[in-house]
Amino acid sequence: MYDVAIIGGGPSGAVAASELAKAGISTVLIERSLDNVKPCGGAIPLGLIEEFKIPDVLVEKKLSKMSVRSPRGRMIFMEMPNGYVGMVRRERFDSYLRDQAEQQGADVVEALVKSIKPAGESYSIELSKDLPAIKASFIIGADGANSKTAEELGFPPNELQVIAMQQRFRYCETLKPYEDLVEIWFDGEVSPDFYGWIFPKTDHIAIGTGTEFRKHNLKQLQRRFVEKLDIRETPYLDEAAKIPMKPRKTFTQDKAILVGDAAGLVTPANGEGIFFAMRSGKMGAHAMIERIHDSKPLKSYENSFRKLYSPIFFGLQALQSVYYKSDRLRESFVAICQDRDVQQITFDSYLYKKMVPAPWSVQMKIFMKNIYHLVKGY
């Protein structure tokens, strides 16, 4: 019998397990496959690296240069003056976080969860591989966009999802220019309602795109992206996954919570999930500790998360709803990215996930440029 069972061993679940075990809470972390490779660009901000003390050996690239490309081929090059984007490989990153949880005292079990049923004051978790059922007083669902935990426990659904595809290519002459450069494509032929990305790692380049689930032919979009890049080589790995684009209406119950993708905590517009997965795992675990020790409601976790990050989610949702609708609007968005103040505010906000206020004069200048480019179309 455990105090807490965490279902899903990605960043959100592993961080939650570490925090709980460190506090002396008996914890089990259940992951369906310890060799699972989550399809993910693997970009993490400096603030996360500092907060969770991510070792340099896991950060394959520290990139301060990026470019954005418009539908017409316009390129805007940018450089972060005060930080960098860290590039990690998810199979190594996730394994490291699970090892940290195990070192703190959490049990790690490799199995598929078949069902979660109330059993008096606790839950009974049926597992695959003929393993005995696990009993726990509390549940944390960290099992992704298609969370079985959420389904079994009756949480409201993830309403909006993007399906993303990524391919890994070994470095070749065509891809050499991207060894130290992140590039984002806002191009309707690559993604009609999201974006395409090029993320370099130590020995490969991750190239991918996304689109709203069941709306467009994702494989065709990815194939077109690769053709536009003039890549003749064959990818050595294809990956695909659903990404939630909106938090669930609620992700807490009396004795259960959802964290990370399972809670829908991925930002609109840029689809960033690792930072919010790890932050929600940490915040959710702390709320769980208070629930166990002091009978405080788990709702405090959701309230705190929304208070901290709702402005970011709202702002990015507004950006996506305005600029991602057509190539004409995407062209305008890329044109606005040329503004130095826009770049500075974007980078400052990204690195530590805080809405950075700008002087009134700068806000007015950016507002007028938005109007100008929206009217002009580029």
Task: Give the pLDDT band of residue 373 (cuts 50, 70, 90).
Answer: very low
pLDDT reported for residue 294: 95
d(CA 337, CA 76): 7
Between the alpha carbon of residue 358 and those of residues 274, 333, 355, 366, the distances in Å are 27, 19, 9, 10
Query: What is the spatial distance between Cα 188 and Cα 240, in angstroms, rounded to a whole number?
Result: 20
Q: 63-83+160-244 has which CATH code?
A: 3.30.9.10
Contact predicate 290/336, CB 8 Å: no
CA distance 54 to 97: 9
Would you state the pLDDT for residue 153?
96
Give the CATH architecture of domain 2-41+89-158+247-314. 3-Layer(bba) Sandwich (3.50)
**DSSP structural state of residue 193:** S
Whether the pLDDT of residue 34 is over 50: the answer is yes
C-beta neighbour count of 207 within 10 angstroms: 26
- Which is more confidently placed, 277 or 336? 277
d(CA 130, CA 150): 23
Q: What is the DSSP string of 335-374?
A: HHTT-HHHHHHHHHHHHHT------HHHHHHHHHHHHHHH
Mean pLDDT of 126-130: 91
Beta strands at 107-110 and 113-119: parallel, antiparallel or unpaired: unpaired
pTM (two decimals) = 0.91
Query: Model confidence over 206-247: pLDDT tens digits?
Result: 999 999 877 889 999 999 999 999 998 999 999 888 889 889
What was the pLDDT predicted at 120?
86
Burial class (CB in 10 A: 0-12, 13-18, 19+), 362: middle
Q: What is the pLDDT of residue 212?
A: 87
Q: What's the whole-number mean pLDDT along residues 266-275?
A: 86
The set of residues, in sequence order, having a beta carbon less than 8 Å from that of 73 and lying 6+ positions away, is none
Give 230-240 pLDDT, tens digit per residue. 998 999 999 88
Q: Average model confidence (pLDDT) for the chain?
A: 88
| Rounded mean pLDDT, 337-363 | 63
Measure the CA–CA gap between 328 and 218, rounded to whole angstroms: 22
Specify the range with the lowest mean pLDDT, choosing from 132-141, 161-170, 317-326: 317-326
- Out of 28-42, 271-285, 324-338, the most confident range is 271-285
Domain definitions of the chain by residue range: 2-41+89-158+247-314, 63-83+160-244, 324-376
pLDDT over 50 at 366, yes or no: no
Tell me the backbone φ, ψ of residue 316, rounded to 5 degrees. -70, -35
- For residue 252, give the DSSP letter: B
Return the structure tokens found at 183. Answer: 């590039």
318-339: average pLDDT: 86
**H helices of the chain, where?**
11-22, 46-51, 90-104, 148-153, 218-228, 274-294, 299-323, 327-336, 340-352, 360-376
